Structure 1
Amino acid sequence: MLAGPRLSINLATLLTFGAFAALVLNAMLGPLAALTFLACAGLLMISNVPLSVDSVRRYWFVLLLPVYCIFTALWSLYPSNSIRYGVQLGFTLVFAIVMTGRLSTTTLMRLMFAVYGIGVLASIGLGRTGTGGAWLGVFGSKNAFAAHIAVFMLIAVAIAADRHSPALLRLSGVAGTIVSGPLLVLAQSTGAILMVAPCLAIILLTLLITRLTGMQKLLLVALVSIALAAIALGVFVAGDALMAEILEGSGKDATLTGRTDLWATGLSYIAERPLQGLGYRSFWVIGFAPAEELWAMFDVPSGAGFNFHNTYISNAVEIGLVGLGLQVALIYGGAALMAAYAFARPNAPNALLLSLQALMILRSFIEVEVFFEFSIRSIMGVATLLYAIQGLLALRHQRPVPVRHHPGGLLSHVGLSSRPRPYPHPHL
């Protein structure tokens, strides 16, 4: 008797989808979001315990950050906060490690397109306008909505450009790209618009590499390097003046809505305790006088989750330059390694991961997206690093083993075999 057609469901993909949906749609789900993430992430970890343990063993160094955050409880102003949130950050990063061992980059790209697409559709159908006329969608602020749309636009472009995706999915990517432009304008976020442009260029340039010869690739890398050096030099020499002109031209506050005052305050606390900081998650605490003063100064309700709007300043205040160094290694190490891997294997998923890491770096100077518990950006920042490491190791293992001529005219292989070595993550 012939068996009928069966529906095959990948459990790891389903659980990752649930975890991502809970984090991305946090504004819609409320308190249920954290519980859903914990359930889906926990089930993913225990669904294949040997593989989860092996992944954590391989990439244990990622967990140095949450371990250090917990360690800051020894001098933290609020040690219970440092321990509690440090453990939650550790759980979040363990999920990121386990996820990269279970999902391919292609699956992750398509999964993110679906999750972020739900947020876009919900914002179009149920969204609202804020007090300043900016469109908020289903999110709590225009900045959160703009950040969501910026990420969705990058995903949609990558999907549309992916030659290996089904035609219907690629058409959906084209539609998503078209819709994202007006929505980003409605969010009235000059920063998001300025930052998404170079990230789109990263995707297009990465995919362009597939059509170039070896010499043309080297020329492109040289030109891009020169352009980046010129931009960096321009920002270093006249960055303040350029930013002032951009903000004035777009009708924005020259102090970035008071961010410069926040930065000055944060730098003063870093100067007091530069190496160890005040303790992980021990500044923005209800009852802590300096935090209460800043909440009152910026007319923000006490305990509303305010921050210094700069990743480096905000995190250095709490975990000092030592902890910040660990974070910088994860962020910029992921960007550098993914750039190398995308150059060697230029495809849509790698281009997307590189562009998302670049967006994180650009936003890090005016926002705080990493590293804290139940954060989609923290997960993706670590995932980009690990996918790049896995990919580069796979390329290294696939190199043909050189042969050596012996005096007797016989050929002898150097090593055990000239065939590519197997890699524990064959989906890459």
Structure 2
Amino acid sequence: MRIAKSALIDPDKNGLYGMAAVALSFFVFAYSSKFGQISILAYYAVWFPLVIVDYRRVLGNYTRYIWIFAFGILAVLSSFWSDAMSTTMRASIQYLTHIICALIAMRVISITTLTRGALIGIIVVLLYSLLFGIYLSDALDGTFSFVGAFSSKNQLGFYASLGVIFAACSVLVLRQRDIIWLGIAGVAGLMSAYCLLASQSATSVITTAAIVALIIGFLPVGMLSPANRKMIFFAVVGLGGLVVVASLQFGLLDAVLGVFGKDSTLTGRTYLWQQGIEAAKASPILGVGYQGFWVAGFFDAERLWNDFFITTRSGFHFHNTYIETVVENGFVGMLFLGIVLYGTLFGHLRSILMRKSDPQGLVLLALCALFVVRSFVEIDIIFAYQIGSFLLYYAAGKLTLPQRAPAGAFSGMAMKPLAGR
């Protein structure tokens, strides 16, 4: 039996395959450490073979993606000056091929298919954690919390955050009204909310609330003219800045953190950041090599593992994307990564402010905003086989394609703009 090419690579016709591929990818990102190489091979198997189907359509013109590939290419090149050359070479090749998979997905998966596949994948991931999950003590704050089938409550909280956000986007942004998908969004949202609370991850709870508020706040934007949208946006940004300053000045931040058992030092993170800044001074331009710091036998890594009681000698980092990047790939690496992260964020923001209707832009803006907020306290986008890096490069690649407005786009941004005064 022959399968039509469109059923695999046409974003308007490959919904079934696309949802399955996205859901499987999410599960692999969550539990590849448990299921090993076979799960990674399954991930590659759903994306790379599409190149054979129609390489021109699936790959596109990669010369347009240089800014997207820059950090991944630097990671590979860093193998030549890394003291852990084999570790850096293997990890960087994995990261570069991971970027390619995300860009393949970007060209063949619509935002509606991505959202539906994400909801299914997150339900499966969280269900597995609820069935086989455990409680662990957090090395940073000493709390005892539910981590699911992950090794950290922050990882569980991250997936739960994405579940809430994708559920909100499905209902509010993409206006999915099919009873089946409403039910799936509801289940994903409820499971995610429960896991979010059970994980006791302050980072995840606070950022999720902020991103959902961002989504709701942008819903009526399409009713305004572009000039009015910009005016309101900058007014809100200014107000938000005042709120942040007031929070720091009057102790509101400490009060919020206190609810989660945290303090202004983020329970050990500030010490870890200080150590990362000191480590970065050794090679500030190009770093010590991609994933070349946290290597068994290296003195500084061993010392910090001992300080934080990390007996496994793995799965630890500086809990700050920028510090981690500067240590491993220097300020050059941070520049390249910043271009991808912030270029994608502002690219989708500009699209929302300038276009009459851009539901895809709002979904991807919400995801990028989540990564930006979390980047100051977590590491979500600089490793291979992670949901954060996959979604970031998917969102970055979408900026290189002509605008597509999926069916079922939310009506708020599709309404006729009000005339500017």
Normalising by structure 1, what TM-score?
0.82
Which residue in the other structure is 1:33 paired with? 39
**Percent sequence identity over aligned pairs:** 25
Please, which moves more after superposition, 146-155 or 157-166? 157-166
Mapped partners of 2:265, 2:394: distance in 1: 34
Which residue in the other structure is 1:406 paired with? none
Mapped partners of 1:243, 1:108: distance in 2: 35
Which residue in the other structure is 1:335 paired with? 345
Gaps of at least 5 residues in structure 1 are 1-7, 396-428
Which is higher, the Rg of structure 1 or of structure 2?
Answer: 1
Which residue in the other structure is 2:373 paired with? 362
Which residue in the other structure is 2:217 paired with? 205
Q: Is the partner of 1:269 in helix, strand or coil?
A: helix
Identify which of 386, 395, 400 aligns with 1:375: 386
Q: Do residues 159 (structure 1) and 170 (structure 2) align?
A: yes
Mapped partners of 2:352, 2:227: distance in 1: 17
Does the 8 Å CA contact 1:24/1:116 hold for their aligned counterparts?
A: no
Does the 8 Å CA contact 1:45/1:95 hold for their aligned counterparts?
A: no
Aligned counterparts, 1:81-120, within 5 A = 81-120=87-126
Q: 1:153 to 1:346 in 2, by over 3 A?
A: farther
Which residue in the other structure is 1:293 paired with? 303
Which residue in the other structure is 1:422 paired with? none
Q: Do residues 320 (structure 1) and 330 (structure 2) align?
A: yes
Corresponding letter in the other structure for 1:283: F
Does the 8 Å CA contact 1:12/1:103 hold for their aligned counterparts?
A: yes
Gaps of at least 5 residues in structure 2 are 1-6, 9-13, 138-142, 406-421
Corresponding letter in the other structure for 2:289: G
Bigger RCO of structures 1 and 2 (CA < 8 A, at least 6 apart): 2
Corresponding letter in the other structure for 2:220: L
Q: 1:213 to 1:75 in 2, by over 3 A?
A: closer
Normalising by structure 2, what TM-score?
0.83
Q: Is the partner of 2:379 in helix, strand or coil?
A: coil
Aligned counterparts, 1:119-268, within 5 A = 119-131=125-137, 132-161=143-172, 162-212=174-224, 217-231=229-243, 233-234=245-246, 238=249, 243-268=253-278
Corresponding letter in the other structure for 1:134: S
Does the 8 Å CA contact 1:100/1:387 hold for their aligned counterparts?
A: yes
Mapped partners of 1:171, 1:16: distance in 2: 19
Corresponding letter in the other structure for 1:378: S
Does the 8 Å CA contact 1:279/1:319 hold for their aligned counterparts?
A: yes
Q: Is the partner of 2:399 in helix, strand or coil?
A: helix
Does the 8 Å CA contact 1:69/1:319 hold for their aligned counterparts?
A: yes
Q: 1:345 to 1:108 in 2, by over 3 A?
A: farther
Q: 1:286 to 1:378 in 2, by over 3 A?
A: same
Does the 8 Å CA contact 1:96/1:379 hold for their aligned counterparts?
A: yes
Does the 8 Å CA contact 2:123/2:191 hold for their aligned counterparts?
A: no
Q: Is the partner of 2:147 in helix, strand or coil?
A: strand
RMSD, matched Cα: 2.7
Identify which of 73, 77, 86 aligns with 1:67: 73
Corresponding letter in the other structure for 1:285: V
Q: Is the partner of 2:313 in helix, strand or coil?
A: coil
Distance apart, 1:303 and its partner CA:
2.8
